[in-house]
């Protein structure tokens, strides 16, 4: 594995299950036991109904592009080989939205509402970052 030059996410106690699941190549989020809604980012109570009882549940990893930006400017040397690159707000089919890199597509071909699927980039031995690519480009 080549040296990884980008910042590594530092899990909080609330987000640790998300990152541990990512290492196992699962996109896992909290799901309320009362109203059955998923939510993200992680928190200790359901943002829909305030219930404090939830489970960590694997999602489908399938969603759509809600919005996106194309970074043409280099803000960190770790991305030197990647500009321009896409950061998208992905809306999962289960409802929650999360920011992620959208890859395996030319930036000027990205469209809102296009279907995407998660894949897991094992950037170091201890860190896996969920990213997305067009659903029709996913090998699995
Ligand atoms: Zn709830």
Share of the chain above pLDDT 90, in %: 94
pLDDT category of residue 138 using cuts at 50, 70 and 90: low
Residue 36 forms part of a structural domain: yes
Question: Within 72-123, where are the H helices?
Answer: none
CB atoms within 10 A of CB 92: 22
pLDDT category of residue 30 using cuts at 50, 70 and 90: very high
**Ligand 1 center to 67 CA (angstroms):** 26
**Ligand 1 center to 117 CA (angstroms):** 25
Residue 89 forms part of a structural domain: yes
**Ligand 1 center to 38 CA (angstroms):** 8
For 128, the domain range is 16-134
Average pLDDT over residues 17-23: 98
DSSP run (H or E) holding 17: helix 16-23
Residue 139 forms part of a structural domain: no
Residue 140 has pLDDT above 60, yes or no: no
Bridge partners, residue 70, by sequence? 86
Residue 10 forms part of a structural domain: no
Residue of 129, 140, 99 lying closest to 11 (CA atoms): 129
pLDDT digits over 81-136, tens only? 999 999 999 999 999 999 999 999 999 999 999 999 999 999 999 999 999 999 98
**Ligand 1 center to 50 CA (angstroms):** 6
Evaluate if pTM is beyond 0.95: no
What total of structural domains would you count in the chain?
A: 1
């Amino acid at each position: 594995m080549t040296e990884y030059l980008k910042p590594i996410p530092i899990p909080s106690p609330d987000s640790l299950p998300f990152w541990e699941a990512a290492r196992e190549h699962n996109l896992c989020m909290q799901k309320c036991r009362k109203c059955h809604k998923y939510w993200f980012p992680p928190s200790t109570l359901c943002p829909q109904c305030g219930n404090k009882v939830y489970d960590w549940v694997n999602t489908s990893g399938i969603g759509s592009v809600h919005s996106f930006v194309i970074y043409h400017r280099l803000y960190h040397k770790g991305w030197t080989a990647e500009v321009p690159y896409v950061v998208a707000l992905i809306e999962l089919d289960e409802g929650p939205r999360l920011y992620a890199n959208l890859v395996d597509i030319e930036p000027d071909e990205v469209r809102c509402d296009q279907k995407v699927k998660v894949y897991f980039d094992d950037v170091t031995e201890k860190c896996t970052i969920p990213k997305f690519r067009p659903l029709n480009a996913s090998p699995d």
